[in-house]
Each structure stands twice: as structure tokens, then as C-alpha cells.
Amino acid sequence: MYRTAPPHALYQGDILIVPMVGLAAADPTIVTDDGQPPTCPKCGHVDMPVVPPGKPAPKFSRFANILSRLKRPNELFRRHDAERTIAVVKVVAAVILSHSCDIDGKGYIRFAAVREISFLSPKMRDQLRKGELSNFSYFHLPPTSEMPEAIVDLDLQFSLQSDLLGRRDKFKSKAKGGVEERCLVPFVEVIDERIASLDREGIEKLYAASVLHLAHSNKTNVELSFTMSYAIFEDDPDRPQAADRPKRTWWWPRPLWLQKKAVEAKAAGAEGGA
């Protein structure tokens, strides 16, 4: 179900620690740079900084919800259809669903959240362990040394910009006749946060689960058979290697259920060495 993946690349089936971002409210707060300079709460004095000659005037943040801004003429969403906002960031374990070539070549990487299996009923857990088709939303993950028994929540999918996980780069592939190939060189810390990597069997089972999740069809009328693409685990020797990985200098903290597993593993190691 799992394999040891090379330390210099990301692959479909990798389970990482990543941020999952959501809006803080149904009417979220928009942050624009057309605000007023700060004033003293006691005397009302405007604290306007001195601008050196030839330098642009400073801009000040303005915080207001979308509803209040849309009630009057504004310039919201005129720059690339985007605005900054107040968001909620949740750290999660998540499996990469994007094909490995898309990880290297595209601007976004698609994930599905990984959750501890304990939130499911005992009956559903047993059905998932046996491979019985009881719920189209979940894909079973056996435990590893770093992760207790878990599930992939196929209802909880999201995408992240690829440059949040590493550096965009190119290399010339001798195996492909000197063709220039695009690649994503992952941050050292992203690989350090890799919990596990699905092997061929795991990938093929994930394909079947993903299609059944999309179709919600019973196995009595749908039979699925997949052969994993040869390129998923392709490791071109000319691509940047482990020593070429950039450093982010910080790590996303592990979700609490994975922190608990790490504490248990450390305690077990200490007992074994006693």
C-alpha cells in the first residue's frame, strides 16, 4: 500500500501536511489598500508618515465586509478577479490527487484531506477495512509508523498553488533527447512533512475509489480496473536532486491526531531502549 518515495520530488499519492484555507464568514472581510492613515484615539491626530522626495505615498489597509462594499460604487474584483480577505487556515494531512506530471507542469496541485478513522462508526470502519462498498466518500488507509489508521475524505478536496510547496524550475532530460522539462523542486520542509506515499496498489485502488465517488454507482453494475500510468513514479536522473531543494525555514505543525501518534511512537521507542 505504501512505498518509500524519492526525497527530491512530489508524486501522486504522497500524503503531506498542508494548509487548507477557507473563508472566515459567509460575508467575508475584504482587505484593500485604500484605507485612511491611523489616528490617535485620544486626540484624533492623523499619524501620517513623512514621505521622502521621489518616493510613493504609503498605502493603508482598509477592512470591510463584501456586502458593505458592494452597496456603493467600488473597484472590487477588478484586478485578476481577486481580492485579499480574512481567512481561516487549518493544517491537515492530505493526499495528492494530481498526476505527477501535473505536479511538475501546472500551477495548482489538487488534494483530498486525510482524517483519522475514529470519527466513523465501528461498523463503517470494519466495512472499509474489508473493502466493502459502504460509503463512496471514504478511502481506507492502513496505519504507518507516522500515521494511525485513517481515511481519505473524497468529499473534502481542495487545490493549492504549486509554488507554496516548492520552486518552479526546468531541466534538460538526456533520457528524452535533451528536451527541456518543467519540474517542481519541493522545499526541504515539505519532504520532511511527507507522512507516507502510496505505492502502485494504493494508487490503483485510489483511482477506483475516486471514480466510484464521482459516479456513486454500486459495484453490482460497475466493474473498474485500472493500470497505473508508467509516468507516475518516473524519476528522471537529470531533474534537480535532494541537494538542490530550496529551504522554507519553517514547518506547518502536524494536526493534533498526528501529533498524538508521534508522541506514542516516541514513548514506545523510549520503552524499547530502556
Give the mean model confidence (pLDDT) for residues 229-257.
Answer: 92
Which residues sit opposite 19 in a β-bridge? Answer: 91
Strand-pair category, 29-32 with 138-141: unpaired
pTM: 0.87
Residue 219 has pLDDT above 60, yes or no: no
pLDDT at 215: 82
Per-residue pLDDT, 185: 98
pLDDT of residue 268: 67
pLDDT in tens, 54-84: 888 788 888 888 888 877 766 788 777 888 8
User: Closest Cα partner for 97 from 82, 107, 84, 112?
Assistant: 112
Q: What is the per-residue pLDDT for 133?
A: 63
pLDDT, residue 24, reads 85
CB 60 within 8 A of CB 37: yes
All structural domains of the chain with their residue ranges = 14-24+87-273
Whole-number Å distance between alpha carbons of 128 and 106 = 33
Residue 98 has pLDDT above 80, yes or no: yes
Q: How confident is the model at residue 7 (pLDDT cuts 50, 70, 90)?
A: very high
Question: Across the chain, what does the average pLDDT equal?
Answer: 88
Output the DSSP codes for 124-153: HHHHHHHT--S-TTEEEE---SSS-SEEEE
DSSP string, the chain: -B----TT---TTEEEEEEEEEESSSSPEEEESB-PPPB-TTT--B-PPPPPTTSPPP-B-EEEEHHHHHTS---TT-STT--EE-EEEEEEEEEE-S-HHHHHHSSEEEEEEEEEGGGS-HHHHHHHHHT--S-TTEEEE---SSS-SEEEEEEEEEEEEGGGTEEEEEEEEGGGTTEEEEEEEE-HHHHHT--EEB-HHHHHHHHHHHHHHHH---TTT--------TTTT---TTS--GGG----S--PPPPHHHHHHHHHHHHHHHHHH-
pLDDT (average), residues 71-100: 87
